[in-house]
Amino acid sequence: MQEIPIRRLVLEKIRKWRWGKHRWILLALIILSVVGVNLIAPVQPHIQVAAENLSAEPLFTLPVLGDFYLTNTFLAMLLMDVVIILLALGVRNAAKKNELAPKGIGGVFEMLIEMLYNLTESTAGKFAGKIFPWFASILIIVLFANLLKLIPGFETIGLLHHTEHGYVAQALGGNWYTVTNQQAADGGYMVTPFFRGLSTDLNFTLAVALISVFMTQVIGVGAQGFRYFGKFVNVSTMFKKPFFGFMDFLVGLLETISEFSKILSFTFRLFGNMFAGMVLIALIGVMVPIFVPSMIMMFELFIGLIQAFVFGMLTMVFMAQATQGHGAEEEHSS
Amino acid sequence: MSGDIVLAAKFIGAGLSMIGALGAGIGIGLSVQGALEGMARNPDTYGNLLTNMILGIAFSEAIAIYCLVIAFLMLFVL
């Protein structure tokens, strides 16, 4: 009996028109984007798979690997490290207070870590303590690498450099210039951004994939000892049952190949998703510069979240598989 | 003239390489269908099915991403 009036009250409250605050901010931003696009027309950026060099001369040279330049993804990585270290210090401060229910950063990270740990425990069982640090740190690193492009000026502010098919540069006052969308007749300018999304560099994704796959082997050996390698070179049943033993050997070869293809798929999944997102935002920003890029940006942030989760989750599942061994399956097949 | 033919071949090749996304789309659709049917019949397994579904989607999506990477290589690198 008492619920009905309360419900009616809530409904009336919801229906009442409020002036609000955020909707006007949103409208102002949309109008600002219309004005901004008319003042400075968007320019189609030069799209390049490898990270752009910021320094003209190489920083140092290694004998086999070649020259090392200061690239913009490297700067983005430093930025990501700083952000993660600051967050870690914040969490440390929150943990020092020893509250029962931490607030702010501490509370958010407690929730995140608890959720991830429960997920690990339900998959990996007693090896959760060993697997969890790799899972969580890979997830957090990839997550922040993907979310960093929320910072304004990311991928847009940078050094001007001279190219053959460039655009006319226009002085903004001081030492600041902007590129207009007029093609320069002979040798215009292009922007090399200071920061570029970290996951759009193949080196970063390859490094994380190598760490993930290598540590999977280490955890497998730690859990099963040298029996772990019996998965790859399977000669245990070769002499007892010639035919099925040979089949097991072939399966072991396939396992070896799939271990290497894990590196490939880890690398290109993250890189492909993030690079495609970058290209999509750049192209949509030239074609429909008003309001649509922000929608695409929202979708890209969602993709970045999902990819970070998938990267960590797959690492965790592979590590959990490596700890389990093949004992049950051998009984099944013979 | 020869440069134009090479450019056209690049674009055609990039377009053709994206045909591979067809299989990935079918695969993702099938896995989501299976997971949703499972969730509808047994709503208690929601969380478990969701994580496994996302894993399966990631595996089949990887194939489409390979196609995309090949297309990017043709467009921007070669």
Q: DSSP string of B11-77?
A: HHHHHHHGGGHHHHHHHHHHHHHHHHHHHHH-GGGHHHHHHHHHHHHHHHHHHHHHHHHHHHIIIII
What are the Cα distances from residue A7, in Å, to A1, A95, B61? 11, 41, 45
Question: B55 and A317: CB-CB below 8 Å?
Answer: yes
| A176-183 and A66-68 beta bridge pairing | unpaired
C-alpha count within 13 angstroms, C-beta hemisphere, residue A128: 14
Q: Residues A202, A49: contact at Cβ < 8 Å?
A: yes
For residues A119-135, average pLDDT: 88
Chain A CB contacts of B58 under 8 Å are 269, 310, 313-314
Q: Is residue A71 scored above 90 in pLDDT?
A: no
pLDDT the model gives residue A279? 85
Chain B CB contacts of A271 under 8 Å are 69
| Tokens read off for A2 | 């008492």
Nearest CA in chain B to A313: B55
pLDDT the model gives residue A330? 45
Q: Is residue A333 scored above 60 in pLDDT?
A: no
pLDDT category, A331, cuts 50, 70, 90? very low
For residues A259-269, average pLDDT: 89
Question: B51 and A313: CB-CB below 8 Å?
Answer: yes
pLDDT category, A234, cuts 50, 70, 90? confident
Q: Residues A201, A73: contact at Cβ < 8 Å?
A: yes
Among the partner-chain residues B51, B65, B76, the one whose CB lies closest to the CB of A272 is B65
A147-164 burial, b at 16+ Cβ within 10 Å, e below that, comes to: bbbeeeebbeebebeeee
pLDDT the model gives residue A207? 93
> Whole-number mean pLDDT of chain A?
82
Question: A272 and B76: CB-CB below 8 Å?
Answer: no
Q: Is residue B27 scored above 90 in pLDDT?
A: yes
Question: Cβ of B55 under 8 Å from any chain A Cβ?
Answer: yes
Question: Cβ of B19 under 8 Å from any chain A Cβ?
Answer: no
Highest mean pLDDT among A149-153, A323-327, B40-44: B40-44
Question: Cβ of B46 under 8 Å from any chain A Cβ?
Answer: no
For residues A207-235, average pLDDT: 88
Domains assigned to chain B: 2-77 (1.20.20.10)
For residues A130-136, average pLDDT: 92
pLDDT category, A138, cuts 50, 70, 90? very high
Strand-by-strand arrangement of the A188-193 sheet: A158-163, A188-193, A167-173, A176-183
Q: Is residue A238 scored above 80 in pLDDT?
A: no
Whether complex ipTM tops 0.90: no
Of the candidate ranges A51-55, A211-215, A253-257, B13-17, the one whose mean pLDDT is the lowest = A51-55
pLDDT category, A49, cuts 50, 70, 90? confident
Q: What global pTM score does this model have?
A: 0.81
Q: Is residue A114 scored above 80 in pLDDT?
A: yes
Give me the residue label for tokens 């027309």: A41
Q: Is residue A304 scored above 50 in pLDDT?
A: yes
CA distance A328 to A320: 15
pLDDT category, A10, cuts 50, 70, 90? low
Q: Is residue A305 scored above 80 in pLDDT?
A: yes
The dihedral sign for the CA sequence A317, A319, A324, A330: positive
pLDDT the model gives residue A125? 82
CA distance A241 to A165: 68
Mutate to test the interface with B, among A261, A262, A273, A303 (most CBs of B within 10 A): A273
Q: Is residue B12 scored above 50 in pLDDT?
A: yes
pLDDT the model gives residue A334? 38
Indicate the DSSP class of residue A157.
S
> Whole-number mean pLDDT of chain B?
86
